[in-house]
C-alpha cells in the first residue's frame, strides 16, 4: 500500500472501497479500513508510527487487534484526525463503522470459550 512516495506499508488487513485505488502491484492511497494484528515484535510500531501515518494519510478507520491480550481498539478519522479510540473486549462485537456497521464477534476471533452475548454499539 503506497500512501505517498516515501510511505509504503503492508498492513495485515485492509479494505479498499474505491476500485480506482487498486493497481496490479499495489494499493494507491489510503484505504478505507486498516487492521493491524499486534505482536511483541510490531506492537510499538503499529501503535505509534503506523497509527500516526494512517492518521495523516486519511485512513477512515484503524483497528489494532491484540491476540495475546484479547482486545481490539478502533480509531475513527474525522476532520480533527483519529478519535481517542474505542476498546472492544473479547466478549463484544467489534463494529466497523466505515463498513455499514459490520460486526465481528471477538469471542470467535480470540476463540474464547463460553463468551459471546454482550453487544456493544
Q: Indicate which CATH number applies to the domain containing 33.
A: 3.90.1570.10
The answer as to whether 74 is a domain residue is yes
The answer as to whether 75 is a domain residue is yes
The answer as to whether 117 is a domain residue is no
Number of domains, the chain: 1
The answer as to whether 67 is a domain residue is yes
pLDDT of 20 reads 95
pLDDT of 120 reads 46
* Low-confidence residues of the chain: pLDDT under 70: 113-121
Q: pTM higher than 0.85 for the full model?
A: yes
The answer as to whether 118 is a domain residue is no
Residue span of the structural domain in which 32 resides: 13-90
Q: How many Cα neighbours within 13 Å face the side chain of 35?
A: 17
The answer as to whether 35 is a domain residue is yes
pLDDT of 4 reads 85
pLDDT of 113 reads 64
pLDDT of 96 reads 96
Alpha-carbon gap, residue 107 to 1, rounded angstroms: 30
The answer as to whether 104 is a domain residue is no
Amino acid at each position: 500500500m503506497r500512501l505517498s512516495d516515501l510511505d509504503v506499508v503492508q498492513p495485515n488487513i485492509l479494505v479498499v472501497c474505491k476500485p480506482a485505488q487498486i493497481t496490479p502491484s499495489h494499493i494507491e492511497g489510503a484505504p478505507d479500513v486498516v487492521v493491524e494484528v499486534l505482536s511483541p515484535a510490531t506492537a510499538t510500531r503499529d501503535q505509534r508510527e503506523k497509527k500516526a501515518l494512517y492518521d495523516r494519510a486519511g485512513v477512515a478507520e484503524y483497528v489494532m487487534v491484540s491476540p495475546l491480550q484479547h482486545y481490539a481498539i478502533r480509531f475513527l478519522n474525522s476532520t480533527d484526525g483519529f478519535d481517542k479510540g474505542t476498546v472492544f473486549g473479547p466478549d463484544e462485537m467489534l463494529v466497523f463503522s466505515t463498513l455499514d456497521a459490520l460486526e465481528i464477534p471477538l469471542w470467535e476471533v480470540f476463540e474464547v470459550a463460553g463468551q459471546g452475548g454482550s453487544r456493544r454499539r
